[in-house]
Amino acid sequence: MDFSFTEEQLLFKEQVLKFARKEIVPRCQEHDLKGEFDFQSFRKLGEFGLLGLHFPEEYGGSGADVVTATLAGEALGEAGVDGGLTLSYGAHTYLCADTLFRHGTEAHKKRYLPKLISGEWIGCMGLTEPGAGSDVTSLATKAVKDGDSYILNGSKMFITNGPIADVAVVYARTSQGKERHEGISAFIVEKGDPGFTPGNKLNKMGVRTSYTSALFFEDCRIPADRLLGKEGEGFWMSMETVEWDRSTLIAPFLGGMAFVLEKACRYSLERRQFGRLIAEFQAIKHKIADIRIFYEAARSLVYRIAWCKDQGRPVNHLEAAVAKLFIGDWSLIPANHAVMIHGGYGYCHEYDVERTFRDSRLAPIGGGTSEIQKMIISRLMS
């Protein structure tokens, strides 16, 4: 066993930290309070190379490994980048662009990847539906072939980047198979396609700078060559995104633990009560220790999923669910402790820990709730 990172990986993480602290973080609070997507920061992520980290250079990427991409996500969280931007970045890069890269034709790749990698275009993935959340196999959006076109009808819900996406990977049912997961296919839908309308952005508790909305398809006609792969392969494509979700997408939550640790330490070394620094109180120290303990406990779970993906191993759904469940449920504790250490100030928008607390609430919900992870673990254990 060897838990070391390469020098390049560590150096890159350091560079991302510096970049994010200088270029992105100063803008986070304002955008979070307004609930506005930060287009400028998103493009800066593209300029820095983060939107195309693991893609081949020929499409504008850097050819980085998954561990490096995971460290980059962790660094964004550690720097204090808000959860909205990191979520938008994750959905854009790993749920949309990566699916296009893995299953698109060369023409698809040439058309979409350079624009997505530079940040000129924004991507999203349409999988969840009003009646198909954690149970994706019950999705009802239909795609019917009509000559050289497919016609899509249905709607999607809780789609990150939905209102601003230039391109979407959309999952729809093309047939009814014996098993519920059969007959699901993936399509590329572009902004402006007839019959495609994004809904209004939802007002959320946290990750407020990422726009979330419904997507509506009403006799939405798209060219037949926008089918990704073959009909019926969609379910497996969506499952591939699980690996990304359990590594690069949850990495910012991991980094968020390091961020609140720093905030908690700094604040407790400034704040005085009863004539001494609150850092001197055991109750405060124990909270600080717990943040660090949970951060240490969570790290290997995430790195392992990334490393396995780098080795080309198929996703281990048991381990992926464990990582998601632990990060999801346990990242709430550090954020909560940090708020408590800040006392009344921690409840105010002015303090970053308040935002991190709100943002972290998504971790056990998004990408498969904790309850779904428990179902998976319980089933696979036996």
Single out the residue of 158, 235, 303, 351 in contact with other proteins (rule: CB under 8 A). Answer: 303
* Paired tokens of 361: 């609430």
Residues within window 106-145 making contact with other proteins, judged by CB under 8 A: none
Does 7 help bind other proteins (rule: CB under 8 A)? no
The H or E element spanning position 82 is: none
CB nearer to other proteins: give 2 or 148: 2
Between CA 57 and CA 338 the distance in angstroms is 41
Find the binder of other proteins among 274, 282, 312, 344 (CB under 8 A): 282
Name the 3-class secondary structure at 302. Answer: helix
Residue 342 DSSP SS3 = helix
Helix H, strand E, coil C: the string for 113-181 is HHHHHHCCCCEEEECCECCECCCHHHCCCEEEEECCEEEEEEEEEEEECHHHCCEEEEEEECCCCCCCC
Is 299 among the residues that bind other proteins (CB under 8 A)?
Answer: yes
Question: Restricting to residues 316-355, which ones interact with other proteins according to CB under 8 A?
Answer: 319, 321-322, 325-326
Site string for other proteins, 33-72 (x = CB under 8 A): ----------------------------------x-----
Stretch that binds other proteins, among 151-159, 241-249, 314-322, 347-355 (CB under 8 A): 314-322
- Contact between 378 and other proteins per CB under 8 A: yes
Name which position in 48, 216, 307, 345 contacts other proteins (CB under 8 A). Answer: 307
Cβ within 8 Å of residue 313, ≥6 positions away: none
Residue with tokens 């419904």: 214
Residue 286: CB atoms within 10 A of its CB come to 10
Determine the interface stretch with other proteins among 1-9, 37-45, 94-102, 238-246 (rule: CB under 8 A). Answer: 1-9
Binding-site size for other proteins (CB under 8 A) equals 49
- Give whichever of 226 and 263 is closer to other proteins, judged by the CB atom: 263
- What amino acid occupies position 49? G
Residue 7 CB coordination number (10 Å): 8
Q: Which residues bind other proteins (CB under 8 A)?
A: 1-6, 67, 261-262, 265-266, 268-269, 279, 282, 284-286, 288-290, 292-294, 296-301, 303-304, 307-308, 319, 321-322, 325-326, 371, 373-379, 381-382
